[in-house]
Amino acid sequence: MTSLRTPLYDLSANLKARFTEFAGWEMPVQYSGIKQEHQAVRTAAGLFDISHMGKFFLRGQGVLAALQTLVPSDLSRLTPGEAQYTVLLNPQGGIIDDLIIYSQGTELDGRERVAIIVNAATTDKDKAWMTEHLSADIAFEDVSRDRALIAVQGPEAVAQLQRLTAEDLDKVGRFGHIEGTVLGQPAFLARTGYTGEDGFEVMMSADGGQALWQTLVENGVMPCGLGARDTLRLEAAMALYGQDITDDTTPLEAGLKWLVHLDGAGEFIGRQVLEQQSTDGVARRLVGLQMEGRNIARHDYPVMQDGAAVGIVTSGTLSPTLGYPIALAYVPANLGKVGQSLAVEIRGKTFPAQVVKKPFYKRKTS
């Protein structure tokens, strides 16, 4: 089966990007090098082609109320121009996917407009789950393959983007979003990201996205691939669906308690499981690990204590910013306290690790 290509594929190919297959898409994994791209985002600005992600627009009466039955976050808190990071849950409280729901307000006829961004690997699954559970009166538009989506991230990202739009980006708060123009073309601009830095994610037509990408590159913003996106998000302890969170993990186990609003969310699929876990506590939890030396704990490596396997690593890398190996892992709740000594088995040998506070990296805010 031929991999899909984003509207920006040819521009990345012209930049001599190295590509990899990801969730059915042929995506750039790196351009100039993962460390260099990572550093650009931490110190200046980088741009990412994330056009492979799922993009839905919903319109109808009571869209947010309908979506409320699928997620544990209180969507009634949202006002137009605000967004909520949350998760779709199955009846067992497991995470079908993590996503961002953007409230775009109400039209004159009373119909609500909502945008949703989901993971590339789960686009079809999410679409099927939502349309199965939402009223047929709600119009569901899937523009996943039609629109370009570009992330501009880093300390200089907002300034770089501001040069290309008349919209006042300083007025857009974290998880805020607006509809405006960039380079004279319609754009959806959201102050969101997956790097631990400030920045925007910009959705445009294919032509508009190509123009934005070329202009930012010409202005000195470094193109970045999936490799740097992964090291950046891991330093910020942001979960990767399919590794750190899955259909078999609940948001309370995954350290996402902050998006579970049992007091305000009303009834939603999986609520009973989360209520039970909230009362009884969870048996396991996702923790941050810092490895001693240069030993890197990778996905699926066993976490050990006293010679016995007690947990599993979900993500790990050598942190380019911090200079030492970091990892996320599920361990028994009683072994999840900061300062707990553990070990990770790497190719038949065990190496010391310690539970540390998440996130591993946090940007300085003025």
Do 101 and 43 reside in the same domain of the chain? no
Do 138 and 154 reside in the same domain of the chain? no
Q: Report residue 366's pLDDT band, with 50, 70 and 90 as the boundaries.
A: low
Residue 22's pLDDT is 96
Mean pLDDT of 48-63: 98
- The whole-angstrom separation of Cα 300 and Cα 341 is 19
The residue segments making up the domain with residue 80 are: 55-142
- Tell me, yes or no, whether 128 lies in a domain: yes
What pTM value is reported for the model?
0.97
Do 62 and 201 reside in the same domain of the chain? no
Residue type, 326: I
For position 66, which CATH number holds? 3.30.70.1400
Do 19 and 159 reside in the same domain of the chain? yes
The pLDDT tens digits of the residues spanning 240-287 come to 999 999 999 999 999 999 999 999 999 999 999 999 999 999 999 999
- Tell me, yes or no, whether 258 lies in a domain: no
Task: Compute CA 276 distance to the chain's CA centroid, rounded to the nearest angstrom.
Answer: 27
Does 1 have pLDDT greater than 70?
no
In the three-class reduction of DSSP (H, G, I as helix; E, B as strand; rest coil), residue 29 is classed as: strand
The pLDDT tens digits of the residues spanning 295-336 come to 999 999 999 999 999 999 999 999 999 999 999 999 999 999
- The structural domain count of the chain equals 3
Q: Which residues of 214-234 are buried (b: 16+ CB within 10 A; e: fewer)?
A: eebbeeebbbbbbbbbbbbbb
Residue 108's pLDDT is 86
- The whole-angstrom separation of Cα 139 and Cα 151 is 27
Do 179 and 47 reside in the same domain of the chain? yes
Do 99 and 47 reside in the same domain of the chain? no
Phi, psi of 145 (to 5 degrees): -95, -5
Do 159 and 209 reside in the same domain of the chain? yes
Mean pLDDT of 120-139: 97
Residue 365's pLDDT is 76
Where does a domain end: 85, 118, 142? Answer: 142
Residue 364's pLDDT is 83
The pLDDT tens digits of the residues spanning 89-126 come to 999 999 999 999 999 999 988 899 999 999 999 999 99
Residues ≥6 apart with Cβ < 8 Å to 182: 161, 164, 165, 189, 202, 204, 208, 212
- Of the candidates 31, 20, 21, 25, the residue with the CA atom closest to the CA atom of residue 6: 25
Do 49 and 73 reside in the same domain of the chain? no
- Tell me, yes or no, whether 2 lies in a domain: no
The pLDDT tens digits of the residues spanning 137-149 come to 999 999 999 999 9
Do 70 and 124 reside in the same domain of the chain? yes
Q: What is the average pLDDT value for the chain, to the nearest integer? A: 97
- Of the candidates 241, 301, 290, the residue with the CA atom closest to the CA atom of residue 100: 241
Residue 354's pLDDT is 98
Do 138 and 168 reside in the same domain of the chain? no
Taking CA atoms, 139 is separated from 56, 136, 241, in Å, by 10, 7, 27
Residue 29's pLDDT is 98
- The whole-angstrom separation of Cα 332 and Cα 283 is 6
- Of the candidates 53, 132, 163, the residue with the CA atom closest to the CA atom of residue 98: 53
